[in-house]
Each structure stands twice: as structure tokens, then as C-alpha cells.
Amino acid sequence: MTSRIQCFLKDEKGAAALEMAMLAPAFLTLLLGIFQGGLLVFTQASLHYAVHKSVRCVALQDVCPSPASYYLGTGAAPEFTPAQEPCGRALTATVSYTFTVLLYHKEILLSAKACFPNIRGS
């Protein structure tokens, strides 16, 4: 009977499967976190681009449908707040981004601000 127990304890079959089962959840969580982080950075960059293009459109008084038309991200359009500042025309935008990795949900507010000088007067 003891030889069977010793034989069972020395057997290494299935060790790789067990290691994979132990490490896979942590690895997949890390991988999904990296993807979500990249999406967060892309959303911030597209918001900054949208604000820059929109404030340029407002300052030059070009024909543009709306400041939100330059927004490249998906989901709800950001809220644009135009203002007159010493630098010229300023525009601030904020958008809510939900950071989700498996069961973890965190809402992050992203914002961008740009200022463009008045070229054609006010």
C-alpha cells in the first residue's frame, strides 16, 4: 500500500496543466488590463484631437456641424464647454470612460482643453 502512495506522489503527469490552471487567470487579467489601458490612452488622445480641431473651427469661424463632430471615440459624445480666454477661444471637453477588467468596473473622467487665438476677430 505504501508503494502505491509513494508512486502517486512521485508521478509528475499533469503538472503542466496544473501550473497553467494556476497562472492562466492572473495572466489573462494582466493581458485584459493592458488592452483596456491602451484603449484608455487612445480615448484620451482622440478626445485631445477632437478638442483641438473643434476649438480651431470655433476660433476661425469655419463652417462645422458641431464641436462633437470631431470626436473619434465610441460611446457617448463628450460635453464641450466653449469660453473666451486671454489666449483667444478656449474649449474644454469631458467624457466619462468606464474601465472594466473582468469584474472590476471603474469610471474615469477624461478631460482635454485647448486654446486657439482669434484670427478673424471675435
Q: How confident is the model over 92-115, as a mean pLDDT? A: 69
pLDDT digits (tens, 9 = 90+) for 3-43: 777 776 777 777 777 888 899 999 988 898 888 888 888 88
Residue 102, domain member (yes or no)? yes
Residue 90, domain member (yes or no)? yes
Q: Are 110 and 47 a contacting pair, CB within 8 Å?
A: yes
Full domain range(s) for residue 92: 10-116
pTM (2 d.p.): 0.64
Amino acid at 27: F
Rounded to an integer, what distance in angstroms lies between the CA atom of residue 43 and that of residue 10?
53
Domains held by the chain: number: 1
Residue 2, domain member (yes or no)? no
Residue 112, domain member (yes or no)? yes
Residue 5, domain member (yes or no)? no
Separation of CA 27 from chain center? 20
